[in-house]
Amino acid sequence: MAEEIANEDLGNDPQIDADFEDDEEIIEELTDLLDTSSSLEFLDSDNTSLYLAFKAYHQEQNFEAAVTHFQQALEYALTNNQVSRVDGTGSIQVSEPHDTQAKSKYWLAESYLKLGENDQAIELFQDLIENHQLHYLSLAAQRRLQPTLC
């Protein structure tokens, strides 16, 4: 299965392309935030590796550096792990480390795709789907893998 995915372009489906364009709009908004932010307050954590990873990926398009920083951000989030909980209104509150793990895994996978390392990307997308089912990026990971499941 990994060989099929490695040999297949993950963006050939028109629906996937439309979804990817939506993702690109989100990326542009994030890039604007990075450009205008003079601090790291928008991260709500001490994980500067995540900021550096987004900067390397989106602004500099340095995917090797992005891989390094997303790996560091993931490592930081794993060592500062907290659990998600349900608040008084019944809403699920995702802890910052859990959110950082999901974001790091997703964008690390995207970075691997940019570098042609599809097996690592697939593994991370699958991990995200299995271990972060409540995170919005889990759905994005499912969309990225969908053409390979048909």
pLDDT digits (tens, 9 = 90+) for 57-107: 989 999 999 999 999 988 888 887 654 455 567 665 555 557 889 999 999
Angle between helices 96-114 and 118-131 (to 10 degrees): 160
More confident call, 90 vs 5: 90
The pLDDT value recorded for residue 100 is 86
Whole-model pTM: value is: 0.61
Q: Does residue 101 contact residue 49 with C-beta atoms inside 8 Å?
A: no
What is the domain range of residue 18? Answer: 2-149
* N-term to C-term CA, the chain: 11
Distance CA 50, CA 43 (A): 8
Q: How many CB atoms lie within 10 A of CB 137?
A: 20
CATH code of the domain containing 68: 1.25.40
Q: Does residue 84 contact residue 98 with C-beta atoms inside 8 Å?
A: yes
Tally of domains in the chain:
1
